[in-house]
Chain A
């Protein structure tokens, strides 16, 4: 009954969607790794980025794959400003306050979107949205394949920045030892803001890759963020390779549970994995920090 003609495409599609999850999770884990807090505004920022990509196409006629070059820097700036001018000063250096402030920002963004655009679900029709590639065993949707390749390219670029540039070294230094980094002359507030900006830019890239084959409404980010939280916990908070592998695992798990259990229970399945991982191994598969 379960021939490989059903199973293999499900796994391949799971891997493709997992790569997009990886981008969302990457931003989250980056911020956690440095600031040691969970950014609860991540989902709302993803919704905002999806809207931005949607309107870039509708109003400016900009193809989402080109809009990424506009939106990624724009969202980097937004993320930078949020951390530098709101989250940082508002939370007085207290972790619990920082959580509450990101939660407050998330509620504001999500409801501004709801207020401005109502709860309607919108989509854009790109000519390539339904094109497929024949890979022998099955056909794969073009937007998903593009997303997969782009997600890996971004991860690679991020890894490069973190490993070989001064900014990356500063970020790693602050993540390891904040006070020491400060003593060495690193502007910690700036590094925090850059990290937040990078995390937010990841979300904008994910949005541009998603929009051709997905939809947007004010709460669309929530679904992704629950998945992203699970991935980050599974991969180990703050671990970049963990986020990537966790994302691919979750993508496949979701695709398979959708196949066996039906669409609506897929989310519950992810949540059960989430609880299970938290209970059994809260530091995750590649736990950088317990």
Chain B
């Protein structure tokens, strides 16, 4: 399990943070960043590895958040079960959306369009339907305890989301190394060629959609437990669709650590903007939109891709000093 070593070291490094930093502001920042990283990892499975760019991952995030909150508040379901149901409901939604789009052969622009419209319609429905609390939103009752999955200490939430991110990292690594992962990448690179080689392209995309929806939904379920409040603008808003795709694109599309790295950068940028210009509506999204354009423009392979490129450039620059073997490998 050589590929798991970097993941374990990163997780171990992050796990000790609450023991060192006691500030609630820092922990809150990291909790939100990890939550976005998880949502981004979901997008990364379908978009990064599978090449199906979704513009509406809020559909999955929001469904997870709403199902978790509504089951607890309206039907008195246990928090852990509600959490699991949130993930399952979102996966079901993913299956529905996948069946709808992949079976009718929608790709590229069309796929982005359908996912965007889907999230938008869910937002409209959630803002008028009585079960979601309509415009008011759904408020979870404060009731601390393990059974209700609510904790006083931010550190506990931090470790929970870190564990969830850890699972998503390991899952992504395993997918990457599996036959399924290779099929998925083949579909991304050239769907027709993959089909010609006997890959069941629709089946592969459907499976990726399910995993992707479940991961992003987990972030949504966690959101509901952490903030104890969900409304249509939060759950199905543009902010989460944008961040879910922005984090892997900044970090490195189709890489295991891309979303995590991207989420930390995105959240840092957001905080800097708040420091510089105050907490004004729309400001963070202006920055995210701008960064999205700039990253695609100047670092199309993301930070990880950019660093690898830089690394190989440096090796080439110092080529004459390196042994001939090294030069041949990188030249």
Contact = CB atoms under 8 A, between A and B. Distances in A.
A99 B54 CA distance: 11
A104 B104 CA distance: 27
A222 B112 CA distance: 15
Interface of B: 51, 53, 55, 100-101, 104-106, 108-110, 112-114, 116-117, 120-121, 124-125, 128, 238, 242, 245, 249, 280-283, 285-286, 288-294, 296-297, 300
Residue of A89, A107, A279 ringed by the most chain B CB atoms within 10 A? A107
A40 B106 contact: no
Contacts of A100: 53, 245, 249, 292, 296
Nearest to A92: B300
Given A91-B297, A108-B285, A218-B282, 9 more contacts: A89-B297, A94-B300, A104-B289, A104-B291, A106-B289, A115-B280, A115-B286, A118-B281, A264-B124
Contacts of B288: 107
A111 B286 contact: yes
Interface stretch (A133-141, A162-170, A203-211, A267-275): A267-275
A104 B290 contact: yes
Residue of B290, B293, B294 ringed by the most chain A CB atoms within 10 A? B293
Nearest 3 A-B pairs (CB), nearest first?
A107-B289, A114-B282, A111-B282
A282 interface: yes
A53 to B, nearest CB: 21
A115 B281 contact: yes
Interface in A87-118: 89-92, 94-97, 99-101, 103-108, 110-115, 118
A119 interface: yes
A229 interface: yes
Contacts of B291: 104
B239 to A, nearest CB: 9
Contacts of A279: 100, 104
| Interface footprint category on A | 35 or more
A244 interface: no
A279 B291 CA distance: 35
A105 B104 contact: no
A282 B104 contact: yes
B264 to A, nearest CB: 20
A268 B125 contact: yes
A218 B285 CA distance: 13
Contact of B290 (A103, A108, A113): A108
B199 to A, nearest CB: 20
B266 to A, nearest CB: 13
Contacts of A86: 293
Contacts of A92: 296, 300
A10 B285 CA distance: 39
A145 interface: no
Given A97-B300, A101-B296, A271-B121, A111 B289 contact: yes
A278 interface: yes
B124 A268 contact: yes
A226 B115 CA distance: 12
Interface in A185-237: 218, 222, 226, 229, 233
